[in-house]
Chain A
Amino acid sequence: MFQRRVRMSARRLLWIGCLLALPVPVLVVGQGHVPALRLLFMGGVTMAVILFESARGAAVLLAAFLIGQFAVYAGVLWLVAAVITRLAGRWRVPAAIAILVALFAVALTRPIYRCPFLPVVSRVSLLGVYR
């Protein structure tokens, strides 16, 4: 039971960290690489416009593309996190933490994202994405 909880905690930690910081390709609605959570955020903003401005037509399709992509990436990353934690065995928690530390260290210091949604520069670090 305890083992399972630890494994789940490590998997969730890794999954959430990847959703927050791992650059994934933007498909159809732009060109670039952004964290999956960014796609969900943009999809939510689009949904808000649809609700508040009674937007119709392809705006709904746009929101579906953004949220749909997030859902796909979320599923894939969940599986990836599961594989990593299973392979890491008893070192799953340190392994997850090590991966996330490395990921965030790179994400915060280097412009590894190419964000199509920003007004001026597209290549930014994680702070630039969520600025």
Chain B
Amino acid sequence: VRRAALLVLFLLTTGFTRTETREPCTRTNPLRDPYFGDTHVHTALSFDAAGQGTRNRPRDAYRFARGEALGVQPYDEAGVPRRTVRLRRPLDFAIVTDHAELLGETALCATPGSPGYDSLICFISRRWPWLGYLIVNSQMIDVRDPPRYSFCGPDGRVCAEAAAGPWGEIQDAAEEAYDRSAACRFTSFVGFEWSGNPESKMIHRNVVFRNTAVPRLPANYIDDHTAERLWQRLGSECLDAGNGCDVFTIPHNPNLSGGLLFTTETNGHPIGRADAELRGKMEVLLEITQHKGDSECRLGAPVTDELCGFEKLPFARMREQATFWSRTDPPPMSYAREILGAGLEQASRIGANPFKLGLIGATDTHLGTAGMVDEDQFIGHAAGISTSRTEVPPMPDSVVMNPGGLAGVWAEENSRDALFEAMRRREAFGTSGPRIVVRFFGGWDLPAGLCDAPDLVAQGYARGVPMGADMPERPDGGTPTFAVWAAQDPGTAEHPGTPLQRIQIIKEWVENGAAREQVFAVTGDTASDARVDLKTCRPEGRGHDTLCDVWRDPAFDPSTHALYYARVVENPSCRWTGWVCSTRRVDCAASVPSGLEACCDDTVPKTLQERAWTSPIWYVPQPAASRSATSASSATSGTTSPERTNASISSIPPIADADQRPHVLRRTRLVARHDGRGRRSALRPSPRQAVARRPRSPAVAASATGSVAARWHTPPAAPDRSPPGVARAASRSSAGRSGRGGALHPRSRRVR
């Protein structure tokens, strides 16, 4: 009865507001379904995409996202594309986010008779596009105060107004692609990218509008040099316009921002509460992965999380891709974990968290190929390789690039309002490409057996909060407990997905004013034997198609701010470089074809472990408790020790070691096994698997999480075979608890 009452309360207090005229969706789920999309797509309207030979326009990008084939460069002299690509599974939503900078200039340069068409820079861009690209791009990515070209007039008005043309095209394309019928097959949003690059440090932000109410012109870095000015403009021209306009921004590539994307200063002053609240209102999501690298966490000291080495760029600024002799390491605030931690520090200091960011993935394609993230389909980023305009290079891009990721959004239906509100409340997750589905709930009294409950999701919502939210008010003696459930990407019949390997929970908290972090191995195989046959790119070894666990923080301090997010890791699979080398049958013992030298370079990774990241769940201490607990803590432990504050993660004393294991309630389930040759032998095929194997499975197990749990049976208890010290992650405690989990024994159950 209590559960039902809580669920009714949840259903009554949630939902979304419809701000547009459209048919209601036939398929709605108050407990929400996962929808996959790409929030970062460029087309020929972007100056750097056009300079790379991209001819696809916003309409083409949306057609592609909906599953149609698309031609891409190089084009022959008759204008016929020499490559055609198509998504294996359509997306549920997409956002074309062309650069707002030079939007007008790019249009003018391509329109005969327009002012500027005959200017020197336009002539160069048409006649020698690669040189034009280099000149324009080098200016845009390097100058703090980029000027307008002379043909824009003394005040730049000509070009600013010319942006109205492509801006209208973006809106029209979004409207045409949006499925307003009851089928709700596809959702588009109007958006653009504000692309600041002071001293080649990227402080880019994608701007996403909720509906058709948008400003007359997009804001751009040439006119508004700071994020604060961008938000002010969006405030005055959208949020305060009184026409139903609603907006948020999605920053990306902190790894290339030189630490400038998120700063704890505003106009030279330490960030204040009002600034923090403005940021929190305008920026709700962070793009954690895309073509230009992963931005989750830093590899190397002081962090000892070995999974941080995933898709890292070897340079800290875009300019350094060319000036390889002057490459530098990314400074602090270049990775999500550092940024989220800084947010906690600020919350402790000023009472508001300026960096309360959910996590998503995207592509940043400059070809108009939204959501084309499969490693074996990668055809390049199209903003950086000189030859892709005119020929098909053997390696489609620089080996440090990658196909990018996707955003997963938990929403009631596939409509603009539902998806927008879901993203705003950060109920979203990022993947490095595969359509892994992950649920993450936090609460104070989530039952240990939640993974076996038929109503996991309903209970998760009723008794806790989903990813992206703050923990509910803490009851006396409460310890945060988290339920995390993940399902592998089923893929398609011809291209099945890769099984899951493990789930981790990453905790960050504030200690003596400084952020700390720890990685906990929660469930799955930390010592998996899974690997890849590089000759065929066939995965080998066992894995899981679902994992679930309820985890309790073993070292919770109610007086400090904290956050928790989950990371779901797949078994190893071929990276795009591995696919290229395998497909071309490169034999390093024989002569290596020109352009494929990277195949025989051991420093170029050929495999990877794809993954998904949930948005965090934050714990905000209650003021009174915080004050009393902090003073008590300081009095007893003398925690002002600077050594402790500055200690590396590996030097943190173990928080949860063997004698604390009862804190961790583990339930791991192996539903399918892999026979060692990459084939899956379903031990217990379920109806959900059948559903999930359909080619179009955006909502993979759609409401899977609610219903699948119902089909789980309580497995028999199994002896503990956890090998110590396997998952070193960033914590000794996690290593101590890591184990093979359910991989050893199907239906194994461990409650420690």
Contacts and interface: CB of A to CB of B under 8 A. Distances in A.
Interface of A: 28-32, 42, 45-46, 48-49, 52-59, 61-62, 114, 116-123
B138 A120 contact: no
Contact of B390 (A28, A56, A120): A120
Contact of B322 (A28, A52, A56, A57): A28
Contact of B391 (A54, A61, A122): A122
B150 A53 contact: yes
12 contacts: A30-B386, A31-B385, A42-B128, A53-B120, A53-B121, A57-B139, A57-B146, A116-B387, A117-B129, A118-B128, A119-B390, A120-B390
A21 to B, nearest CB: 19
B130 A57 contact: no
Contacts of B75: 120
Q: Which 9 A-B pairs have the closest CB atoms?
A: A57-B142, A58-B138, A122-B390, A30-B386, A116-B386, A58-B142, A57-B143, A117-B128, A59-B138
B10 interface: no
Contacts of A53: 120-121, 147, 149-150
Nearest to A30: B386
B77 interface: yes
Contacts of B146: 57
Contact of B150 (A31, A52, A56, A62): A52
A119 B121 CA distance: 15
Contacts of B74: 120
A56 B147 CA distance: 9
B396 to A, nearest CB: 13
Contacts of B134: 29-30, 46, 62
A45 B131 contact: yes
A69 to B, nearest CB: 13
Given A120-B76, A121-B77, A59 B120 contact: no
Contacts of A118: 128, 130, 390
Nearest to B142: A57
B135 interface: yes
A55 B387 contact: no
Given A52-B120, A59-B139, A46 B131 contact: yes
Interface in B124-154: 124, 126-131, 134-135, 138-139, 141-143, 146-147, 149-150
B42 interface: no
Contacts of A42: 128, 131
A28 B391 CA distance: 18
A116 B391 CA distance: 10
A61 to B, nearest CB: 7
A120 B77 CA distance: 6
A14 to B, nearest CB: 28
Contacts of A55: 135, 139
Interface string B337-371: 00000000000000000000000000000000000
B128 A49 contact: no
B428 to A, nearest CB: 35
Given A45-B131, A61-B323, 10 more contacts: A29-B134, A49-B120, A54-B147, A56-B142, A56-B143, A57-B142, A57-B146, A58-B139, A118-B390, A119-B389
Interface in B371-394: 385-387, 389-391
Contacts of B142: 56-59
Q: Number of contact residues on B: which range applies?
A: 35 or more
A116 B130 CA distance: 7
A31 B124 contact: no
B385 to A, nearest CB: 8
A62 B130 contact: no
Contacts of B143: 56-57
A48 B385 CA distance: 24
A114 to B, nearest CB: 8
Contacts of B127: 119
Contact of B124 (A30, A49, A58): A49
A123 B139 contact: no
B573 interface: no
B693 interface: no
A114 B74 CA distance: 14
A28 B147 CA distance: 26
A46 to B, nearest CB: 6
Interface in B383-421: 385-387, 389-391
A118 to B, nearest CB: 7
B350 to A, nearest CB: 36
Contact of B141 (A46, A58, A116, A122): A58
Given A57-B143, A122-B390, A49 B126 contact: no
Contact of A59 (B135, B323, B385, B391): B135
B593 to A, nearest CB: 15
A123 B138 contact: no
B498 interface: no
A48 B147 contact: no
B200 interface: yes
B89 interface: no
A31 B386 contact: yes
Contacts of B385: 31
B319 A123 contact: no
B405 to A, nearest CB: 28
Interface string B283-325: 0000000000000000000000000000000000001001100
Given A49-B120, A53-B149, A117 B135 contact: no
A49 B546 CA distance: 58
A57 B126 CA distance: 22
Given A118-B128, A120-B76, A121-B77, A62 B135 contact: yes
A82 B138 CA distance: 38
Nearest to A116: B386
B200 A58 contact: yes
Given A31-B386, A32-B387, A119 B135 contact: no
A54 B131 CA distance: 17
A3 to B, nearest CB: 44
B131 A117 contact: yes
B126 A56 contact: no
B130 A117 contact: yes
B149 to A, nearest CB: 6
B619 to A, nearest CB: 44
A31 B129 CA distance: 14
